[in-house]
Structure 1
Amino acid sequence: MKYVIGVDLGTSAVKILLVNQKGEVCQEISKSYPLIIEKSGYSEQNPEEWVKKTSEGLTELVQQFNGNVKDIEGISFSGQMHGLVLLDQDKKVLRNAILWNDTRTTAQCQEIYNVMGKERLLEVTKNPALEGFTLPKILWVKEQESQIYERSRVFMLPKDYLRFRMTGNIHMEYSDAAGTLMLNVAKREWSTEILSLFNISPKFCPPLVESHECVGTITAEFASTTGLSEATKVFAGGADNACGAIGSGILSEGKTLSSIGTSGVVLSYEERNDLDFKGKVHYFNHGEENAYYTMGVTLAAGFSLSWFKETFANQEAFDQFLEGVDSVPPGSNGLLFTPYIVGERTPHADSNIRGSFIGINASHERKHFVRAVLEGITFSLNESIEIFRQNGKTIDTIVSIGGGAKNEIWLQMQADIFDAKIEKLSSEQGPGMGAAMLAAYGCGWFTSLKECADRFIQTSKTYYPIKENVETYKKLFVIYQQVYTQTKILNDQLTEFRK
């Protein structure tokens, strides 16, 4: 039996999967590492922590592996997007990585609009200038840490730095490069226009490769450290959302993903590179060659639920916390929740907006509030689905993963609010499985990622929309959509009182 490894380099931990040719997960190891938060709005990590913890995890995996390490043929990666790693001429890290959830770059985002214009930026990159993207971080370092910037010779993204440390080779693949705000997404090349406007050398940008492309083998040093064979092939990998899509089988038109973790993502496969969503949703290169995906983001999806539980039912297990929700009718007896507790991303890129409970009355019990939170999160995700549909996409089947796929009530709720068939996977491994599939395809086990998905991914249960619930939720969704505009001014006025 042959094996591949999928490495998912997340924000709080690295997750490593050993997968065999049947798509079975034979081993799973996770190693956590800390965030560095020097002040409000800052979020950084030491890139060496990624290397150290991944090395430890791979060493542990090899020690537990009963077969011949030479049968582990390949390794690939999924990684947190947008994070900035700067290397000097000796390929040494110059400062901590600035992560995707760092929000210090509002002024640099405005600078990008001032220099390039919003419309032209959207034409080239398919995305607006948001604080999370990489270009604003580069401009911040250029302005605030000029000595470090002057010593910089190349920038990298998190998983690409980890892969560089394993192979000694520097590359970036399209799905992650699409989140830098420097890639011409349709042409699949670094934008010479953007680089010129911001006086960035083309040499500052790594060579671009396909996600399934072999970019080398692991070094003798890394093999000695972990116990892996020096013959292990290393593949470029993909951005976490692209790999999550691959690992969920989102590899053809009409396929859509609903992923509810701390944040929530609705992601839909696109064959075309010329759709115009006017920046309302993200539009990135997929991990599959010459494919794309559109994506909407709810900043506090599962986080809204965990916040509510920790605040009002901290001692209870989640099953106990959710008891009685199934006895509450759709609409929670006239109670609405908006999950804007840390701001919002799609369709409202608004860092000041905050969440609301609307319609509280004396008859409401805790179970009504819990159901309203579940419905509010799902309504927020549905805003992205509605944008897709308004732009002519047919969305009738949605694969649900993450926390939203762990509860039968929530799965049915998604079917009813999205008005679509919801599929729950028999084995859900998300981005780590997508990374493993890229390695399996790269190793030649399959002729395409779709063939790999047919072997590796199975649906365990399907949920269908209930007509009367769909009609109820359509009426409620219209009201939900009004809450943002009705509360925006109030929230802006409350900003000065927040601590």
Structure 2
Amino acid sequence: MDKYVLGIDLGTSAVKIILVNQSGKIVSEAYHEYPLIQSQSGFSEQNPEDWISAVYSGIQTVLKKVTIKPEAIEGLSFSGQMHGLVLLDTVNTVLRPAILWNDTRTTKQSQEILQKMRDFISITKNKPLEGFTLPKILWVKENEPETFAKVKTILLPKDYVRFRMTGVLNIDYSDAAGTVMMDVEKHQWSHAICDLFGIPMNILPPLINASDEVGTITKETAVLTGLSPKVRVFAGGADNACGAIGAGIINENEAMCSIGTSGIILTYEKGMRDYHGDIHFFNHALNNAYYSMGVTLSAGYSLSWFKRNFGKTLTMEEFVTLAEKSPVGANRLLFTPYLIGERTPYADSNIRGSFIGLDAMQTEGDFIRAVLEGIVFSLKDILSVYMCYQKSIETIVSIGGGAKSKLWLQMQADIFNRRIITLKTENGPSYGAAMIAAVGLHWFNNFKECFDQFIQVGDIYFPQKENVDKYNEYYGLYQEVYKDTRSLSEKLLEIERIPR
């Protein structure tokens, strides 16, 4: 009998579930959406019960598409959106909607954390940005004290789903690191942080490895999903960590470039490395390893925004193809993709995007190419930070929307001046979650063996020297735009704040 695993990726807008066999082939998949709650500006929340409904429905959909016995599915694991705050009471009932990673209400709390604790970054290896979990907890403590008084346990999104499916409370190291309450080097919750900010240690769940088995699903879960009650459940990890596994990033000189709504450059770290908060540094879903990453907030979002406003009648493929008519440098047009602020390397929520070098001779294709180039320039900013810390990256695996266009892939090779690799089958975090289950079940002795079986390289793009030289000149100008427009962005925002 063939054997299978499920990979469950709990995203921000939907859950993606895939069924994978022992050779790494996806034999069935499902995608179920759930709503976002935005009650006021800066707030971003979800009802955890919506996650449960979507996951259970998704598993049912996956099973309906295949004719296999439930017993053939031996295990499952999770990937999940990072940093989200789920609060449970003494009987494990959700106390309030979950506060998500893209919620920005916590600027005050984020600033206070660094003011009160100078060695914070040395413990967590990260700045306490608004998106992370600790500022959210402090916001609830300050603004909803009656709710905070009832808190018995905090969980992150995928850990709550796993709890509902198994009845077991815990959190893996890769997601725990994203709370910025953990001592990343010591692999334990930080007593110093919790004591200083008045967070009881007993509300923090036990820490486990991503590939650790937490048990089997409950009988109720089996009935509601159609799975066998004997299916073994493995902890899983943060979505970016699982995405790196799904892309086969296991060497320190390799990186993953993921262009989705946001853009990410992520690389494997075998041991500790101190980036002083300039780059995110987290515990990995791979045991006793780490990963680091930089984020540009409006990568694919910039392109979809531009198409939504100026290319409504075209498909995305047709829209991007228009950029092929434009030369390197888009006829002297630069675009900075700071539509909702920026994270790496600037961590500036006030900066806004711009087109620089507008010319009456420029065409639609020039604007589209400028947007594509600007997104890659913003990702090169992250590589530049790595270079400042003598981190050598030779090969980049490109996934997401940026891997769907040959033009964009060659652009990455030329701007990064690195070899760019694509994958034949790319399913990101859900595939990484399935691989965690496969290794947990001992289908393979280690992740390297799993990578060799599951991951196949697609096309390879090499930098073209003439383009590299031109892009280096344009990138030098691109780097000047932030500092030259920063004060203008702040003044524009200030105009809107002035009462009339």
Scaled by the length of structure 1, what TM-score is found? Answer: 0.98
Structure 1 distance, partners of 2:222, 2:477, is 58
2:493 to 489, 492, 495: 495
The answer to whether structure 1 residue 391 and structure 2 residue 389 are counterparts is yes
Contact 1:185–1:285 (Cα < 8 Å) also in 2: yes
Distance 1:464 1:498, change over 3 A: farther
Scaled by the length of structure 2, what TM-score is found? Answer: 0.98
Structure 2 distance, partners of 1:282, 1:149, is 28
Structure 2: segments with no counterpart, 5+ residues: none
Describe the SS at the equivalent of 1:58: helix
Which residue does 1:14 correspond to in 2? 15
Distance 1:369 1:498, change over 3 A: farther
Q: Could you tell me how far 1:337 is from its partner in structure 2? A: 0.3
How many positions carry a matched residue from both structures?
496
Structure 1 distance, partners of 2:351, 2:496, is 12
Structure 2 distance, partners of 1:288, 1:406, is 28
Deviations 1:443-477 (CA, angstroms, capped at 9, x unpaired): 00011112101110111100000011111111111
Contact 1:74–1:234 (Cα < 8 Å) also in 2: yes
Aligned partner of 2:261: which letter?
Answer: T
Contact 1:396–1:419 (Cα < 8 Å) also in 2: no
Which residue does 1:463 correspond to in 2? 461
Which residue does 1:306 correspond to in 2? 304
Aligned partner of 1:43: which letter?
Answer: S
Q: Could you tell me how far 1:387 is from its partner in structure 2? A: 1.1
Contact 2:280–2:292 (Cα < 8 Å) also in 1: yes
The percent of aligned pairs where both chains have the same amino acid is 55
Deviations 1:142-162 (CA, angstroms, capped at 9, x unpaired): 000000000001100000000
In terms of mean alpha carbon deviation, does 286-295 or 388-397 score higher?
Answer: 388-397
Which residue does 1:196 correspond to in 2? 195
Q: Could you tell me how far 1:425 is from its partner in structure 2? A: 0.3
Aligned partner of 2:50: which letter?
Answer: E
Aligned partner of 1:64: which letter?
Answer: K
In terms of mean alpha carbon deviation, does 390-399 or 253-262 score higher?
Answer: 390-399
Which residue does 2:316 correspond to in 1? 318
Structure 1 distance, partners of 2:343, 2:318, is 31
Output aligned runs, 1:66-77, within 5 Å. Answer: 66-77=67-78
The answer to whether structure 1 residue 182 and structure 2 residue 157 are counterparts is no
1:328 to 326, 349, 355: 326
Aligned partner of 1:186: which letter?
Answer: E
Output aligned runs, 1:69-468, within 5 Å. Answer: 69-117=70-118, 120-273=119-272, 275-468=273-466
Describe the SS at the equivalent of 2:453: helix
Structure 2 distance, partners of 1:54, 1:472, is 48
Deviations 1:189-238 (CA, angstroms, capped at 9, x unpaired): 10111011112111111000000000010000000111100100000000
Structure 2 distance, partners of 1:204, 1:264, is 33
Contact 1:250–1:257 (Cα < 8 Å) also in 2: yes
Aligned partner of 2:151: which letter?
Answer: S
Describe the SS at the equivalent of 1:324: helix
Contact 1:85–1:96 (Cα < 8 Å) also in 2: yes
Contact 2:89–2:153 (Cα < 8 Å) also in 1: yes
Contact 2:56–2:225 (Cα < 8 Å) also in 1: yes
Structure 1: segments with no counterpart, 5+ residues: none
Q: Could you tell me how far 1:498 is from its partner in structure 2? A: 4.3
Q: Could you tell me how far 1:497 is from its partner in structure 2? A: 3.5
